[in-house]
Chain A
């Protein structure tokens, strides 16, 4: 089954003087285990598309299916629950809750999901090992570097066992070393845990790591390359 499928997806912003077609008729299918980068110049609609796929925003027209579920048909409370159980998010910034420790941040959603204490502890240790930060368990986010924070964000997204992880410019604030480390981590998780990743970027080095490149311009797919 397709993890994600969009059908004639449009997002038009009318709040401005001239309506902006941020997403302008996109049909996109993402299969399980893909490692896809959405690329394109600034303002081409990457964030808008990811927000539509992630159910954070509703399309002007068209549909988004996640594992066959039509996101538009879900009421807002159901949609939030759906996001919690099925979609992992990594944002460019403001990913972590500053008053919680690394461990607490990672297990936060698991607790909302009602997982048991032992399961949470076990998964946190596992994930901290995977992101290479077992010694930072009880640190607060502001005691970590930007790259470390993003790795914790990936762990947090992964902890809830989602269908896929959406990452909107996860490396935008990182230097090249941290960018590499984060991508290696995502690749590893993609291969070892078969986690589906969709991320946006306009960084050449990040694009090179992707196994599928979807290029956008003016809200349309202009190129779709499998590498």
Chain B
């Protein structure tokens, strides 16, 4: 019966209740949508990093990561790749030679990281080939070896398609070596810093310059069935290749994990702050309710409603009011996420700024089911807190005074 009274009481002043509900609904929708955007951006960043750069699992010589020097080699590549091929959880893999170098044109030079790849294998693992904006990804066979560079680097070196680039690097025997390449393709990812640093050539062209023979390589990268699958795959490869360093993407880019954890926190506190602001609106409404129903509450206490029941009645009314608003907010949020999670939102206007810090300008917002659950619980907690003061006010009513009609 008290449930029934509380529910019907909400609808006694429809306009006022709907106003509160809309405030809650809009506040939550805004908070959830912002969180969804943040999630979308950080997931995008992780996806981009995995598909362009780090893949799911990488294998190196133990000292390679610290020095990024081609002298730290993985021996017997074919044997290693055979082990990896046998693991069914691995979707694709490739090997690369990799070195720090200086790229120079007639006008200027820049420090770069050069990767010697096998294009057919590389295409299975990274998506650089799909980011080509000019030229091609090692498709045309030229007399001189071709190099694929990022757009940012192209601008910096003032190098266009077909221009010559001289790469200077240290070979394994410690001598400086030079190699001439022609720009065969220019790519552009959503991460300009990556574009500025990374250039690609065929390993057949790079290995002789470095003095690396075909049974050796610097890096083996692979994609697994899913982001999560990378962790067990890396663990089992770690035991197979106990002399090498095997790292999953979380270990390769701890920042990705930190950003996603921070986004979670950010979303939570955003909602908490929004609800904190809403509490005052709810309290105000409920205080008005108590004032209006002074006589009625006095009568109820006179005829036998004890404090516990009065508390329950006001608490229920506050909770149902808040939760109704909350559910409307959740409904709108799920709707918005459904739409924009499919179509994505284009932040073209800020593309340049976003890409400079490694974010894509196209964002697919999403939030987890867990987040919706947390919000529902937070709304209930909000309602409980918001009902404390009005209840106190109600319990202070003196039934003898309240039932006197003036």
Contacts and interface: CB of A to CB of B under 8 A. Distances in A.
Counting contact residues on chain B (CB < 8 A from A), the size range is 20 to 34
Interface string B289-319: 0000001101111111111010000000000
A77 B4 contact: no
Contacts of B9: 99
Interface in A166-218: 168
Contacts of B12: 98-99
Contact of B5 (A100, A113, A160): A100
B156 interface: no
A160 B303 CA distance: 10
A144 interface: no
B135 to A, nearest CB: 75
A98 B12 CA distance: 9
A81 interface: yes
A104 B403 CA distance: 21
B8 interface: yes
A93 B404 CA distance: 9
Interface in A86-106: 89, 91-95, 97-100, 104
A97 B296 contact: yes
A206 B322 CA distance: 49
Given A95-B299, A98-B296, A47 B404 contact: yes
B165 to A, nearest CB: 81
Nearest to A172: B405
Nearest to A47: B404
Contact of A91 (B8, B301, B403): B403
Contacts of B341: none
B400 interface: yes
B1 interface: yes
Interface in A106-127: 107-109, 111-113
Contacts of A111: 1
A72 interface: no
Between B304, B307, B399, the greatest number of chain A beta carbons within 10 A of the residue's beta carbon is seen for B304
B307 A94 contact: no
B8 A84 contact: no
Interface stretch (A1-9, A25-33, A49-57, A130-138): A49-57
A161 interface: no
The secondary structure that dominates the B interface is helix
Contact of A89 (B303, B307, B309): B303
A220 to B, nearest CB: 20
Contacts of B298: 94
A80 interface: yes
Given A98-B12, A104-B1, A84 B405 contact: no
A85 B8 CA distance: 26
A47 B302 CA distance: 14
Contact of A160 (B300, B302, B304, B398): B304
Contact of A109 (B5, B303, B399): B303
Between B295, B303, B309, the greatest number of chain A beta carbons within 10 A of the residue's beta carbon is seen for B303
A21 interface: no
B307 to A, nearest CB: 7
A104 B306 contact: no
Contacts of B403: 56, 89, 91, 94, 168
Nearest to A156: B303
B405 A92 contact: yes
Nearest to B297: A94
Interface of A: 47, 51, 54, 56-57, 77, 80-81, 83-85, 89, 91-95, 97-100, 104, 107-109, 111-113, 156-157, 160, 168
6 contacts: A56-B399, A89-B299, A91-B403, A97-B296, A109-B303, A156-B303
Kindly list the 9 A-B residue pairs having the minimum CB-CB distance in the complex, ordered from nearest: A84-B304, A99-B8, A94-B295, A57-B400, A56-B400, A51-B400, A80-B306, A93-B405, A111-B1
